[in-house]
Amino acid sequence: MTDLISGPDTGAIPQAAPTEVLPPVDGEPPMEWAPTEPARKKRRLGLWLGLGAGALLVAAAGASLILIAPGTTIAGVPVGGMTPGMAAEAVSNRVAATEIELTGAGDGTTLTGSELGASVDAKALADQAFADRPLWNISTWMGKAIVPEVKLDPQAADHALRAAVPTSYVDPVDSNVSFDAASAAYTVTPSKSGTGISVPDLAAAFTAASAKGSTSFSFSGDATEVAPAVDEKTATATAEKLNGMLATIGFYVGDERTVPIAPDVAASWLKIDDVDGKLKITADQSAIQTAVAGLPALVNRAPVNATNIVDSKGKVLSALTAGQDGRTLGDTAGIASAFATQLGDGKANFALPVNSTPFETTTVFRRLEVDISEQKTYLYENEKLVQTWKISSGLPGTPTPLGHFTVFAHTAKQDMGCFEGAVYCTKDVPWNTWFAPNIAFHGAYWHNNFGHRMSHGCVNMPPSIAKQVYDMTPKGLEVWVHA
């Protein structure tokens, strides 16, 4: 067994290879075997070929997870097999490079999407296309074209078109709202249409061309009517709103406009701006603050206690002095800011924070007493004599009735006895305070003999005194006539 040739890859056993010795079994001598043969080496070319194919399959499977399905188009740009990032860039480039050939007044002029500020949301569109149509999902292949709206930057497009076709442009005149000091009101100036090239129509044409996959299209550069951004209807509505505000603007305590604001002052606070064709009202906080600084002197007041005239039973006959609560202006910090915001919303009544002090009420029991024997009338308040006047009561043939009466009527001027069959007629008797049938306190301008009986039953007084009694005797006032 020693003549075997050994060598690399021959499969022979090298001579120096040891033999294996088995341990004795049940006392028998050990046994020797031929040298152990090492395992034969395997050829691995097929394995390497298999690994390459598998790697390609794995790579293809991985790619299918990051690419957009074949047959997908966005704005006319084929993006199948692209990543979302590549697709977004391709779409943006196509939109920017699209050429617009102007016709008509703009004949011979070509603009690009880039010059017009054309854009689509390419990133969002590409991301959504990948989300809806990944390459791995065969059912989404060859899907319907994605047609986004192409938008034009208004300023960029207007600038480019004006430069290209200046003859097509006449600027419109907006309607305006301004304060007229003479009428102390807001007035409106008329609007006027202009001409130009319609940017919205151009954007629509751009979208249609992109949907077809066109890299160029034609559009008329002829002038079309351009409406003013602010028309008279809008301006008139704003002026009416402002004039309504001028009629009520001020600082209020409850329903009382405690501090009115003059129209010209209010107009100096307010500003009207055109914001995308709408008129927006704003107010100057610093100007309002000047008015706020003067509020305490106009709002703060001490309480005024009420005084009521009552009868002997305590029934209120009239208010001698009307009561009025006192008030103190609260915290004024933030008023100017809050009022400015409120005016911007069209509300001109600002409610002030005030602390109120209630008034107190006192009562006065007032009555008149006529003393026929002394020919005097007395005024009592809470049974205290306040005033005394000389009078002329009824003559013996026409005496003034005695008893307790109450005032029931007042006439500022009255003809007396001027009827058919009357024994006298006195015209325009002033300041009549009626307390008994056909009997009144009144002024007597035809004599000056007060302190003596002179009348046909009424109580004569000098006109100035009669006016005083007229004013201070409400209905229900008690009158006592005695001898």
What is the predicted pLDDT for the residue at 40?
A: 55
Q: Which residue has the higher pLDDT, 9 or 407?
A: 407
Within a domain: 74: yes
Question: Is position 47 within any domain?
Answer: no
Residue 100 sits in the same domain as residue 218 = yes
What average pLDDT does range 451-465 have in this prediction?
97
Residues 269 and 406 reside in one and the same domain? no
Q: What is the pLDDT of residues 394-405, one digit of tens each?
A: 999 999 999 999
Q: Could you tell me if 134 and 278 lie in one domain?
A: no
- Count of domains for the chain: 3
Segment among 2-16, 287-301, 310-324 with least mean pLDDT: 2-16
The answer to the question of residue 2 being in a domain is: no
Residues 217 and 76 in one domain: yes
Token couple for 482? 């005695």
Query: Residues 127, 206: one domain?
Result: yes
On whether residue 29 sits in a domain, the answer given is no
Residue 25 lies in a domain: no
447: pLDDT confidence band, cut at 50, 70 and 90? very high
Average pLDDT, the chain: 89
pLDDT for residue 11: 38
Rounded mean pLDDT, 325-331: 97
Cβ-based neighbours of 4, under 8 Å, separated by 6 or more: 12, 13, 15
The CATH number covering residue 416 comes to 2.40.440.10
In a shared domain, residues 120 and 209? yes
Q: Which of 310, 330, 357 is the last residue of a domain?
A: 357
* Residue range 79-119, pLDDT digits in tens: 999 999 999 999 999 999 999 999 999 998 999 999 999 99
Cβ pair 252, 235 in contact under 8 A: no
Q: In CATH, what number is assigned to the domain containing residue 315?
A: 3.10.20
Q: Write down which residue in 325, 357, 389 finishes a domain.
A: 357
**Which range has the worst mean pLDDT, 44-48, 120-124, 131-135?**
44-48
Residue 371 counted as domain residue? yes
Q: What is the pLDDT of residues 14-33, one digit of tens each?
A: 444 444 444 444 444 444 43
Residue 87 structural domain: 55-171+194-223
The Cα angle at residue 139 between residues 137 and 144, in degrees rounded to 5: 110
Q: Looking at the domain assignment, is residue 146 inside a domain?
A: yes
pLDDT for residue 278 is more than 80: yes
58: pLDDT strictly greater than 80: no
List all residues 6 or more positions away from 241 whose beta carbon is below 8 Å from its beta carbon.
Answer: 281, 346
- Regarding whether 202 and 313 lie in a shared domain, the answer is no
Handedness of CA 135, 137, 142, 143 (dihedral sign): negative
| pLDDT over threshold 60, residue 38 | no
Count the Cβ atoms, other than its own, within 10 Å of residue 445. 14
Q: Tell me: the pLDDT tens digits for 123-176?
A: 999 999 999 999 999 999 999 999 999 999 999 999 999 999 999 999 999 999
- Look at residues 357, 382, 402 and tell me which one is the last residue of a structural domain: 357
Compute the 3-state secondary structure of the chain and give helix, strand, coil in percent, each to the nearest 5.
30, 30, 40
Whether pTM > 0.75 for this model: the answer is no
